[in-house]
Chains A and B, each alone.
Chain A
Amino acid sequence: DSGVTQTPKHLITATGQRVTLRCSPRSGDLSVYWYQQSLDQGLQFLIQYYNGEERAKGNILERFSAQQFPDLHSELNLSSLELGDSALYFCASSVADRARYEQYFGPGTRLTVT
């Protein structure tokens, strides 16, 4: 158990819909990262927040957005969903945003868009 929690575990929805994925970091961790894992693209970094502020952006679509709240939990919002958005979405946390700190990953949310 990494200490990072993600809800829901599974999500099935239709094209065009909007969903919200939730992540609670390990106690004391200020930095939260979101990653997407699909069969054809592998594991890809989406976005990072540190203590409530956006710190880095990766290959995140404009239809996707995220935020980190004062209690440090984070939400990833996916809108106008397409079939290609079906993937595993992982959240990770680390104590700071420096390269020398390891990241701890949650169990993931499996999103299926039909």
Chain B
Amino acid sequence: DAKTTQPNSMESNEEEPVHLPCNHSTISGTDYIHWYRQLPSQGPEYVIHGLTSNVNNRMASLAIAEDRKSSTLILHRATLRDAAVYYCILSGRAGNKLTFGGGTRVLVKP
């Protein structure tokens, strides 16, 4: 499975945007880029995913580089509830099992 690289942690102030980077230089043409998050004491939660084009949903936006070797998850206005570990995952081979790395721990300060 292609690997992703994320910063270990990031801090943000409440109501400010958060940009979470992810590098995936060995991505293949059929790999989707998925983002999940895990709030404390909960199961992982789907955030967004995309293949080539930028994607928006009610939770976040996903900006994908033209060469697809990196992507950025954008939380437009962070709230305290957005404090979680965010995982960037590539999925495309052998069905869509998710291979979780260490993720980025996001701290939101009031």
Min distance, Cβ A9 to any Cβ of chain B, angstroms = 11
B110 at the interface (CB under 8 A from A): no
Min distance, Cβ A114 to any Cβ of chain B, angstroms = 21
Min distance, Cβ B76 to any Cβ of chain A, angstroms = 20
Min distance, Cβ B80 to any Cβ of chain A, angstroms = 20
B25 at the interface (CB under 8 A from A): no
- Whether A94 contacts B96 by the Cβ 8 Å rule is yes
With A2-B43, A90-B43 as given contacts, are A102 and B97 in contact (CB-CB < 8 Å)? no
**Chain B: interface residue count, which band?**
20 to 34
- Whether A45 contacts B96 by the Cβ 8 Å rule is no
Binding site for B on A (CB under 8 A): 2, 31, 33, 35, 42-45, 48, 50, 55-56, 58, 90, 92, 94, 97-108
Pull 20 A–B residue pairs with CB atoms less than 8 Å apart, ordered by A. A33-B98, A35-B98, A42-B100, A44-B100, A45-B100, A50-B95, A90-B44, A92-B43, A92-B44, A94-B96, A99-B91, A99-B92, A100-B51, A102-B34, A102-B49, A103-B44, A103-B46, A105-B43, A106-B43, A108-B42
